[in-house]
Chain A
């Protein structure tokens, strides 16, 4: 019997390999993955999409559908027993009670038709706790994770909470049975940075209280720096590096880890400031927009110079996307003017706007959705010239499409493919090529890199930067995260609740933020360096009591 080993960990994965059978062939999701987790510690599994970082967690929770999945080798030892040899009923008894899990996108992961109190209590009743006790404990848990008005919240449904609150609900559910291990799969990815900081702090507190082991799956070096003791770096199904989090950051061994650390935004030199002179290319004055009782824009003024990149940063509900849509006239504001080279866009007739469309283009957040799935790349890009025939005669379309594809780093022979045949980063390049086909002067980028992996993010930003120099483009760059814009923008506008709270050059904003909200945003954005985060954390703990909750 190998049931007991001399060095016993709380949870240990040994040589785990999992494959999935698809019609396209067998995909090896992870190969020979080994790691362990002890009581009271936090292990992060770091990787980009497709790296297989979530697969071992799914195997632990028995969430892999077999078929199409298959565990081809390995053991998962929990308290020394191999989980893969347990019966389904034994596995069920461990799920939730001993090892609990929370996920990205809590709205999708909570059942939409049952009250949250019931769902939290179910975690306990599923493991034999009487209903009344479970309900009482659920209420206690809601209080513990900081849900306002917990009694009323018990009877509410998931859609009635905010994103951050929903993740708190998931956490309350996960810790209900006081598990030995909590697995958190990208727990803060969809959240605003300030909310992310709160949720991570809650997880840390709970870990201190209960001494549980925390397994955190993430793509974000900042999250690793903030919370992890040890880190496992994964790339295409393999572990490429493992070790102490600070150690790995300071001294990465594997080229992939180095690449990942280099790609982390917000570390480079701040670009030299350029003088603002002459007439602005675009100038917005007093923009106001309301949706019913909600004020999305409360009088916004700003300007963009030719060749300048202006970043607009804010959290969800700040009005930054409404602003982007107003500039390209997708959603007209109720009040205000937008002057493009001195002419008010908002007062123009549809015919005049049509002429101006060529100059003002937009790149959207999710290229999967912004490219018509039923059009080939050639048709997607050449549509610009169908709509504006004066740009280019039809005979030259083929040649120009090939040019543009090369320009954005793709191959000319990709023109006949369809969007779903490309990866996320490639799709965003196609979307950029489409915008360039119009030969614009200003491109509005609405969260154009937020849906991409970090390393791809860096590439796309480098591409945009290169195009700016080549064509003298201006950008209005909408983002929710400050570090992303640091190496790229000339000026930064910080928005909150429909207003600009601070505006300035990148240096002003990053080195000497004046407004408390800008300061909070900067403080909440996680630095990829574990030592920097550790210093900030101890500073936070020193100041506790001074900062309102």
Chain B
């Protein structure tokens, strides 16, 4: 099957929302991933507001209460921690810090990295060379070690954690954006825009950025998962977010001493991390197809996605 043209009939316009929803529904894995992420997002936004009091209320009679026992109420369905606080409420509340740190770090690193990558890829000035060298320097830092050192030395505050994680992730976007720009700017449609007299500004933002944007979004989604795992590791090691603040990573660490007789303390927050990461990976796979007009029909046709 080489050149058979399939001319899509003009779509009935259902508005962009319905269209995206249909594309999401076409890939069931991505649909449930998105649904799960939506729930996580709602927990992150409203969880602390609604459940903060419950999540911090100690109940010594319910210490290490086992899961799947609803005699204490549905909040205790996942069990309780060493101070008798309901795990469900704590997992919901912890979503906020976990998401906040990852989102801030990803946002900061992607914006800075992409901007630098656009300059490095498009400009022929020597500044471009310097940016790349800077990226190389950051890349050759042992990143987790660096995070460990900086956070031990400095105060392990949310801002510092975000800063450290953001800096170590900049090169990912820098390199991807640059490599893509180098390729895209030689494409014929960029040349065509130049012939029309388009300004550099217009070429970068109207022709190059929209083309590389899906790649960057896909990477950012994957990276969100990576950053979340990194933050969780740091919190687990005790140099991330500090109690009484909670994150999922910290909760896993807090449950560690009770592993032998109360596995659920560490298990649930860990499961939350896995499911969120898995969802992000699945959604990133879907995005790669959905954001590409030449691939999108796979989803619009409502069929199974091809890898």
Contacts and interface: CB of A to CB of B under 8 A. Distances in A.
Interface string B1-24: 111111110100000000000000
B5 A50 contact: yes
Contacts of B197: 353-354, 357-358, 387-388
A421 B7 contact: yes
A369 B188 contact: yes
A369 B187 contact: yes
Contacts of B288: none
Contacts of A69: 1
Contacts of B3: 49-50
A423 B5 contact: yes
Interface in A313-357: 328, 330, 353-354, 357
B193 A383 contact: yes
Contact of A417 (B10, B195, B196, B297): B10
A383 B197 CA distance: 10
Interface in B1-54: 1-8, 10
B202 interface: yes
Interface string A25-40: 0010100000000000
Nearest to A418: B293
Nearest to B303: A23
Q: What is the predominant secondary structure among interface residues of chain B facing chain A? A: loop
Given A50-B3, A330-B194, A388-B197, A421 B8 contact: yes
B183 to A, nearest CB: 12
Contacts of B188: 364-366, 369-370
A190 to B, nearest CB: 15
Contacts of B207: 372
Nearest to A420: B294
Given A29-B4, A49-B3, A68-B1, A370 B198 contact: no
Contact of B189 (A357, A370, A420): A370
B14 to A, nearest CB: 15
A126 to B, nearest CB: 26
Interface string B176-219: 00000000000111011111111100100011001100000000
A86 interface: no
Contacts of B8: 421
Contact of A22 (B6, B187, B198): B6
Interface string B111-145: 00000000000000000000000000000000000
Given A417-B10, A420-B293, A387 B196 contact: yes
A24 B301 contact: yes
Contacts of A422: 7
B280 to A, nearest CB: 24
Interface string A1-33: 000000000000000000010111001010000
B298 interface: yes
A434 B297 contact: no
A387 B202 contact: yes
B34 to A, nearest CB: 21
A324 to B, nearest CB: 10
A374 interface: yes
Contacts of A472: none
A360 B195 contact: yes
A54 interface: yes
The residue in B6, B189, B210, B293 that gathers the most chain A C-beta atoms within 10 A of its C-beta is B189
Nearest to B294: A420
Interface in B227-244: none
A362 B293 contact: no
Nearest to A386: B202
Contacts of A421: 7-8
A418 B194 CA distance: 21
Interface in B257-297: 293-294, 297
A371 interface: yes
Given A371-B189, A374-B211, A421-B7, A49 B195 contact: no
Given A20-B1, A330-B195, A372 B293 contact: no
A438 B196 CA distance: 8
A364 B191 contact: yes
Interface string A422-435: 11000000010010
Given A23-B298, A23-B303, A372-B189, 17 more contacts: A23-B297, A23-B301, A27-B4, A49-B3, A364-B191, A364-B192, A370-B188, A370-B189, A370-B192, A371-B189, A371-B192, A372-B193, A373-B211, A374-B211, A384-B196, A387-B196, A431-B192
26 contacts: A20-B1, A20-B4, A22-B1, A24-B6, A27-B6, A50-B4, A68-B1, A328-B195, A361-B195, A362-B191, A362-B192, A370-B192, A371-B189, A371-B192, A372-B210, A372-B211, A374-B293, A384-B196, A387-B198, A387-B202, A388-B196, A420-B293, A421-B7, A423-B5, A431-B192, A434-B192
7 smallest A-B Cβ distances: which pairs?
A: A357-B197, A370-B188, A49-B3, A369-B188, A23-B301, A23-B303, A372-B189
Interface of B: 1-8, 10, 187-189, 191-199, 202, 206-207, 210-211, 293-294, 297-298, 301, 303
Interface of A: 20, 22-24, 27, 29, 49-50, 54, 68-69, 328, 330, 353-354, 357-358, 360-362, 364-366, 369-374, 383-384, 387-388, 413, 416-418, 420-423, 431, 434, 438
